[in-house]
Structure 1
């Protein structure tokens, strides 16, 4: 036996490989739950195809929901842009109103100053007129009082003269003198 058969060499090599691996038997393929790797690939492809077919509806639902949210967000953004534009317009309007109000306030102040000066001038003129009028009224009262006093003095003087004349006439004129005076007056006529 100098040359062993070829089959022996193969078997001995196979035994050597098995001893080196530590399995001690035939090489087994890995399995999970009793399925071989090519079967797991088939199951995975089947799940992927089922997801592609039935998941498309879910995808459409998800994308539809996302599209709706995007549309809502765009609508909110458009509304925000409109509100911002309105706010800027209001800000500009109120800035213009404030500027006009400041101008109006300055004009009112100037008008009030002018009116106050006019009122002061009118008050001064009115007070001068009132003083003049009261002065004239006082002068008129004084003149009236003087006239009244003069009339009173004249009336008293007339009364005193009348009383004195009566006393003199009664004292100096008797019935004979009265007849002579009456005859003279009648003769002069």
Structure 2
């Protein structure tokens, strides 16, 4: 075999080996950069998630403290002021119909006092919705003074039907929020196909 052919084959083989090694080194360097960038992105996202968790926990604990404070205040308030007050029965207009017999069921229902919500009840209701104590009429956060207790026991002009209508609106708003949050969670965490 010709020595020149052997040298040429040796040079080709060495060039191939060198090129292959250089390609492997370049690929390894690119992969190292990609891995390093991914590690940096993961570390940044982990820091962001840790901060979000910390903010949530801080806000949640503050909210728990606010509601515990409100519960204590309202427990004291409701020991001093009732939730309902009875209004006199509304006067019925005398019409052409014959009056009901004295002592009948319709007579006793028509003469029954109507329950209304006190200002204390409205104050407690609104505080539970907002997480902050807010005065209701003259029933304010002034404290357990004699005048404040009297104001808190006054009729607010609202009744059980008003409270129930507000409850229905709040329950619907909560259901709407649950639906939106569920859709957001499903979007952020898609289930495997």
Q: Same fold (TM over 0.5)?
A: no
- Bigger proportion of residues as strand: 2
- Bigger proportion of residues as helix: 1
Q: TM-score, normalised by structure 2?
A: 0.43
